[in-house]
A and B are shown apart, each in its own frame.
Chain A
Amino acid sequence: GAVVSQHPSRVICKSGTSVKIECRSLDFQATTMFWYRQFPKQSLMLMATSNEGSKATYEQGVEKDKFLINHASLTLSTLTVTSAHPEDSSFYICSARVQDGVNTIYFGEGSWLTVV
């Protein structure tokens, strides 16, 4: 399958600071990527759809000014958590859609964010 990579895999930041998570499609171009967050023992919650060259589409209840998404190239989308607080601590996962005829979606390894 296609490879999606996230960086960093783990990050700890201080409350009030911003942190950026990168999502890269390594062996294909992705016009569309998706960002999720997952709390322990819960399912994945879709945050937003990231479209190359245009604004992201956010799911209801997700603050677009807090979770900034940039998809500036066909292989890279970034999620910036601004003014992070302890309640933003979570597992953030991205995915990318492959143009393989059925638009299969592949996921990255996830990034653990801990805000202290």
Chain B
Amino acid sequence: DAKTTQPNSMESNEEEPVHLPCNHSTISGTDYIHWYRQLPSQGPEYVIHGLTSNVNNRMASLAIAEDRKSSTLILHRATLRDAAVYYCILRDFQGAQKLVFGQGTRLTINP
């Protein structure tokens, strides 16, 4: 499985934008970029995914580099409820299509 690299932790303030980076230099042509987040003692929650173009949904935006070797998850106005561990995962659209989790980024939001 292609690997991703994320910072161990990040900190931001409430109501400010947050940019969570992810490097995936070995991404293959059939890999989708997925983002999940996990609050304490809960299962992961789907956030967003993309292939080549930038994506927006009600939770976040996903900016994908032109060479697809990196991406950034953008939370436009962070709230305290956005404090979680954010996982950037490459998922091969072919084959088993399983999600293999790395260590993720622990996001802390200051009031």
Contact = CB atoms under 8 A, between A and B. Distances in A.
Contacts of B96: 49, 57
Interface in A56-107: 57, 91, 93-95, 97, 102-107
B41 A110 contact: yes
Contact of B43 (A32, A57, A109): A109
A102 B49 contact: yes
B101 A44 contact: yes
Interface residues of A, number: 27
B99 A46 contact: yes
B103 A43 contact: yes
Interface string B25-58: 0000000100010100111111001000000000
Give the interface SS of chain B, mostly helix, strand, loop or mixed: loop
A76 to B, nearest CB: 17
B69 to A, nearest CB: 22
A103 B98 CA distance: 10
A95 B43 contact: yes
B96 to A, nearest CB: 6
B97 A103 contact: yes
B75 to A, nearest CB: 18
Nearest to B91: A105
Contacts of A112: 41
B98 A43 contact: no
A49 B98 contact: yes
B68 to A, nearest CB: 17
Interface of A: 1, 4, 6, 32, 34, 36, 43-46, 49, 57, 91, 93-95, 97, 102-110, 112
Given A93-B44, A105-B99, 11 more contacts: A1-B46, A36-B101, A43-B87, A49-B96, A57-B96, A93-B43, A102-B93, A105-B46, A106-B46, A109-B42, A112-B41
